[in-house]
Amino acid sequence: MQTERKPLLGRIRSTLIETIFPARCLACPTETVTPMGLCGACWGRTHFFTGPVCDYCGVAVPTADRTTTRLICDSCDRTPPGWDRGRAAVAYDGVGSQITMAFKHSDRLDMAAPIARWMVAAGADIVSADMIVIPVPLHWSRLLRRRYNQSAILAKHVAGLIGADVEVEALKRRYATPFLKGMTRQERHEAVRDAIIVAPEFVRSVTDRQVLLVDDVMTTGATLAACTQVCRGAGAQSVSVLTLARVARAE
């Protein structure tokens, strides 16, 4: 009898929770059958990168043949980003941008677990358990205002899912860079070039490791490129990147 009481109580408790807090779509108030999913309408307006993608940035690449060469999008072909491989889960448009913004600015930490699962699914062929997962850092002044580094939270979840090490303090911003929105690719690269360093006490954690950089959204990739450069400078064996969203046309 004792063994049956627990599951029954558990069932009553979860039914109660579901009645009081019914599962909602991640992106809108629609009730859903399972918690932390998307409703049908939002699913239809979310552009997941599931087909052939650019091996550098993860954006969809129109091609019928995936077997011949490494796929690279036009933008990465013109300007190789500097890291080894990269993937993104969704396009930064429609529901994809809505979810990215909500996670960054609206205290929606409950979104981290499902978002990280999308990211790991998108990066399945580039991630491994022997990597060290490192988030793109936030300057302390922004951290104060925003209260959490959304990339650090994603990095922890991603590392948990793939069974890898995570070091959220490994990279640091020496100064707050200006908001990059509206800048050209060149201006963005110049604005972040010297802003990021490997924290001296973490150099040894990066040396000879396969680094997986995690960020919420990739626009031109300037910040991720700066992170890549300092990780290579610290002796990283390889640097890959994984983001939630990718801005499809960012020039």
- Which residues of the shown chain bind Zn ion in the complex (CB under 5 A)? 25, 27-28, 30, 39, 42, 54, 56-57, 73, 76
Name the residue type at position 247.
V
- Closest to Zn ion by CB, 57 vs 91, is 57
Q: Which of 56/103 has CB closer to Zn ion? A: 56
Q: How far is the CB of 30 from Zn ion (least distance, A)?
A: 5
* 43 in Cβ contact with 52 (< 8 Å): no
Q: What is the dihedral of CA 70, 122, 219, 239, to 10 degrees?
A: -60
Q: Identify the CA nearest to 180 among candidates 129, 212, 219.
A: 219
| Residue type, position 103, single letter | F
| Nearest distance in Å: CB 105, Zn ion | 19
Distances (CA, A) of 57 to 2, 97, 241, 243: 54, 17, 8, 9
Task: Name the phi and psi angles at 240, rounded to 5.
Answer: -120, 160
Cα–Cα dist 220/64, whole Å: 26
Nearer to Zn ion, 145 or 249 (CB): 249
The CB-of-8 to Zn ion minimum distance in angstroms stands at 33
Least distance from Zn ion to the Cβ atom of residue 214, Å: 17
Q: Which is nearer to Zn ion, 85 or 209 (CB)?
A: 85
Kindly state the smallest distance separating residue 56's Cβ from Zn ion, in Å.
Answer: 4
